[in-house]
């Protein structure tokens, strides 16, 4: 079944193939299970799209995770009953909604946990909290030497059950997961977790941790553990190297955009130059006078994301807010106004396209 929504004329448009996402999920879940890990499927890259969440669940993930509370609410209201994990600490204004909905929360702020405790009591619910540990990426996380004090307070709060420890890497500073780092996180959990009413778990990272598994370097952890995987399932690649993962497809998402101009033009600007509209100083490649095409697609649709033409003879020259300029000298077929061209996206482009009201979406179940 094919469904669509978005702009009336559906150009640009994003094709989402749920079956390929299902296949990618099975491939990733299989290799993680062999390493002793469960997988939570992350849907923030697709705006919490229920079709994608269902494909991930059918492929073997044990729950769905997202950084946006509104996305989790959308998933639950669509009938998804699997455990829901909130990846980002909520704002104080979201606390009551979190207490009513979320099953597992990744959190690094004691005031947030305290507020959640009060809201959970009112909702007559228990929320599981995984305390995030700072391990080098310098984003969220409790410093290891402060972890004992935070835990000592959090585990006494009613309505809260500390479920274990977690970490996040390769997002802000690009700190890479290592076997020694994962072992250290496991040792921390073993040190702090014994004697709890229920076994602890380790939320051991995101898609960036998969490289250790595929390379056979994942350590043997004594506690149950899971990974939070989004990008590698959606795009079928290793997020650190951008190389395809075994058994996955890189065609689950395809962006189509229409050409609005095609002409021969000089490749170098005329006259003095300064910064462009985005305060960038561009050093264009001298191609001489060559064939160029302009797409009705820009940063307002894709943010800072990138598009990669399916036709290897087409090259992206640059992008402004509403236009994308292509070099088309080596294109395999004739390109003229009205031609629709096909592209792959990186993760930033996927995030932006899925949330842009200007990009139509076509869902292939």
Spatial distance between the Cα atoms of 156 and 220, rounded to a whole number of angstroms: 31
- What confidence score (pLDDT) does residue 7 get? 53
- What confidence score (pLDDT) does residue 6 get? 61
- b (16+ CB within 10 A) / e for 321-359: eeebbbbbeebeeebeeebebebbbbbebbbbbbebebb
- What confidence score (pLDDT) does residue 281 get? 87
Mean pLDDT confidence for 120-128: 96
Which domains, and CATH codes, for the chain?
Answer: 35-235 (3.20.20.10), 253-364 (2.40.30)
Question: Which element (helix H / strand E) includes 309?
Answer: strand 307-309
Spatial distance between the Cα atoms of 283 and 260, rounded to a whole number of angstroms: 25
Query: What are 321's two structure tokens?
Result: 């807010």
pTM of the model: 0.94
Mean pLDDT confidence for 335-364: 96
Mean pLDDT confidence for 307-331: 97
- What confidence score (pLDDT) does residue 80 get? 98
Mean pLDDT confidence for 265-279: 90
What are the pLDDT digits (tens) for 53-96? Answer: 999 999 999 999 999 999 999 999 999 999 999 999 999 999 99
Residue 101: is its pLDDT beyond 90? yes
Mean of per-residue pLDDT scores for the chain: 95
In three-state secondary structure terms, 31 is helix
- Residue 79, phi then psi, degrees to nearest 5: 105, 5
Dihedral Cα 187, 191, 194, 199, nearest 10 deg: -40
What are the pLDDT digits (tens) for 152-197? Answer: 999 999 999 999 999 999 999 999 999 999 999 999 999 998 766 5
The more confidently predicted of residues 213 and 4 is 213
């Amino acid at each position: 079944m094919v469904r669509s929504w978005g702009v009336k004329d559906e150009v640009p448009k994003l094709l989402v193939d749920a079956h390929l996402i299902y296949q990618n999920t099975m491939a990733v879940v299989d290799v993680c299970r062999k390493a002793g890990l469960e997988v939570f499927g992350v849907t923030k890259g697709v705006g919490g799209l229920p079709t994608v969440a269902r494909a991930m669940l059918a492929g073997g993930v044990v729950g769905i995770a997202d950084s946006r509370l509104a996305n989790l609410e959308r998933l639950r209201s669509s009938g998804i009953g699997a455990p829901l994990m909130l990846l980002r600490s909520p704002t104080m204004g979201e606390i009551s909604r979190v207490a009513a909905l979320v099953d597992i929360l990744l959190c690094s702020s004691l005031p947030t946990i305290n507020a959640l405790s009060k809201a959970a009591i009112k909702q007559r619910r228990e929320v599981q909290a995984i305390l995030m540990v700072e391990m080098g990426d310098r984003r969220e996380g409790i410093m290891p030497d402060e972890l004992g004090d935070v835990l000592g307070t959090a585990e006494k709060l009613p309505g809260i059950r500390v479920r274990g420890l977690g970490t996040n890497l390769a997002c802000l500073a690009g700190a890479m997961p290592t076997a020694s780092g994962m072992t250290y996180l496991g040792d921390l959990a073993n040190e702090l977790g014994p004697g709890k009413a229920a076994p602890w778990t380790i939320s051991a990272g995101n898609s960036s941790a998969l490289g250790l598994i595929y390379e056979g370097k994942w350590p043997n952890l004594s506690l149950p553990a899971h990974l939070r995987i989004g990008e590698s399932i959606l795009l079928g690649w290793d997020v650190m190297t951008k190389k395809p993962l075994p058994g996955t497809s890189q065609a689950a998402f395809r962006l189509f955009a229409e050409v609005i101009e095609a002409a021969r033009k000089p490749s170098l600007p005329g006259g003095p130059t300064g910064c462009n509209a985005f305060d960038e100083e561009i050093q264009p490649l001298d191609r001489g006078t060559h064939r160029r095409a302009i797409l009705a697609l820009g940063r307002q649709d894709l943010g800072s994301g990138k598009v990669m033409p399916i036709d290897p003879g087409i090259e992206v020259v640059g992008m402004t807010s509403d236009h994308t300029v292509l070099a088309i000298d080596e294109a395999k077929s004739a390109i003229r106004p009205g031609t629709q061209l096909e592209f792959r996206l990186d993760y930033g482009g996927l995030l932006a396209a899925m949330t842009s009201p200007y990009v139509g979406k076509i869902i292939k179940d």
